[in-house]
Structure 1
Amino acid sequence: MTKWEYSTVPLLVHATKQILDNWGEDGWELVQVVPGPNPEQLVAYLKRPKQ
């Protein structure tokens, strides 16, 4: 059975792709993006297999 670790990451609207690309290079997979505390910010939920 695969065990997962999770992370939440603040995303800035003007740099979303760059931020997600950086996390993706470290093996993180995007699960969901939800609105953040203000209109210019989003929050990404990520997961990757636990080492």
Structure 2
Amino acid sequence: MQTWEYSTVPLLIHATKAILDQWGADGWELVTVLPNPTGEQHVAYLKRPKA
């Protein structure tokens, strides 16, 4: 059975693409983006298969 590891990443509005591109290059898949509870920035939720 496939197992996953997960990460949450704050997204800076001026660098969103660069942040997601870097995590994607490291094998992470974007699951969703939700507002931070404080409303100041968004948070990306990512997953990748465990080795």
For structure 2, the 5+ residue unaligned runs are none
The equivalent residue for 2:44 is: 44
What is the Cα-based RMSD across aligned positions, in Å?
0.9
* More helix by percentage: 1
Q: Using the alignment, how far apart are the partners of 1:14 and 1:32 within structure 2?
A: 19
Question: Once the two structures are aligned, what percentage of the paired residues are identical?
Answer: 72
Note the C-alpha offset of 1:38.
3.3
Runs of 4+ with >3 A deviation: none
Matched residues, number: 50
The runs of 5 or more residues in structure 1 that have no matched partner are none
**1:33 maps to which residue?**
33
TM-score by length of 2: 0.90
Q: Secondary structure in 2 aligned to 1:14?
A: coil
Q: For 1:24, give the aligned amino acid.
A: G
